Amino acid sequence: MDQNQIAALKKAIEGSQERKFKESVELAINLKDIDLKIPKNRIEEEVQLPNGRGKDILIAVFGSGELAVKAKGVADTVITPEQIDDIADEKRQARKLANKHSYFIAEAPLMPTIGKKLGIFLGPRGKMPKPVPPGMDPTAMITSLRKTVKIRTKENKTFHTMVGTKDMSIEELTQNIDVVLTRIRSKLERGDMNIASIYVKTTMGPAVRLM
């Protein structure tokens, strides 16, 4: 394991106060020499963390029939086709749904309706559903998504991504960080040469330079 990374993680975790909630451990990454106004230069990736996120997230499924039945007890929310119009008509409810859930899955035939009715709420948040065939068992996909984090740069050269929680071991966090940074480097034209700096911090703790 990278000793500098271990030292930075320990310093960030030890330097954060005890909170009444489970703090995340995050990376703050600053890019350089890259024009993010050009869409092809932006990073929009989903990375499955080898040791998981360290905390639960909510996942919703748009589905009917067999898919809806299979999703119950696995997904946190199941939305039937008949409920889509009702949600779209209540903007506050639609925003709450979009903010509350980290990921969405939908029967492929429902995607055009979801895009038309709820795309305005899901699209800007990067939460348009992942389409699946009707009747598919979504269990494996949901299990995978619960360990997944999103990396989005948009037009901002500074961006954040979660790599775990404060109560995870240094080894687990280091492994998660390595996977995230490997993916980011692979998406940058010049790899490390496009990275100005990387900091690690807990949700409310001080930032410690990693690179």
CATH number at residue 8: 3.30.190.20
Whether residues 128 and 98 fall in one domain: yes
Whether residues 138 and 168 fall in one domain: no
pLDDT of residue 45: 93
Whether residues 39 and 83 fall in one domain: no
pLDDT of residue 1: 59
pTM higher than 0.75: yes
Enter the DSSP assignment of 110: G
Whether residues 187 and 141 fall in one domain: no
Whether residues 86 and 121 fall in one domain: yes
Q: Which of 130, 145, 160 is the last residue before a domain boundary?
A: 145
Q: What strands, in cross-sheet order, belong to the sheet with 158-165? A: 158-165, 24-31, 195-202, 208-209
Residues 160, 26: Cα–Cα separation, whole Å: 7
On whether the CB atoms of residues 4 and 208 are closer than 8 A, the answer is no
Alpha-carbon torsion 156, 157, 163, 166, what sign?
negative
Q: Which of 145, 177, 195 is the last residue before a domain boundary?
A: 145
Closest to 133 (Cα-Cα) out of 106, 159, 156? 106
On whether the CB atoms of residues 136 and 129 are closer than 8 A, the answer is no
Tens digit of each residue's pLDDT, the chain (211 residues): 578 889 999 999 988 888 888 899 999 999 999 999 999 999 999 999 999 999 999 999 999 999 999 999 899 999 999 999 999 999 999 999 999 999 999 999 999 999 999 999 999 998 999 999 988 999 999 999 999 999 999 888 999 999 999 999 999 999 999 999 999 999 999 999 999 999 999 998 899 999 8
Whether residues 44 and 87 fall in one domain: no
Whether residues 74 and 124 fall in one domain: yes
Whether residues 124 and 65 fall in one domain: yes
CATH of the domain at 79: 3.40.50.790
Q: State the total domains in the chain.
A: 2
Packing angle of the helix pair 81-89, 111-122 (nearest 10 deg):
30
In degrees, rounded to 5, the angle at the alpha carbon of residue 143 between the alpha carbons of residues 71 and 40 is: 105
> Would you tell me how many other CB atoms lie within 10 Å of the CB of residue 189?
10
Whether residues 152 and 198 fall in one domain: yes
Whether residues 134 and 199 fall in one domain: no
pLDDT of residue 109: 96
pLDDT of residue 20: 82
Q: Residue 88 is part of which domain span? A: 59-145
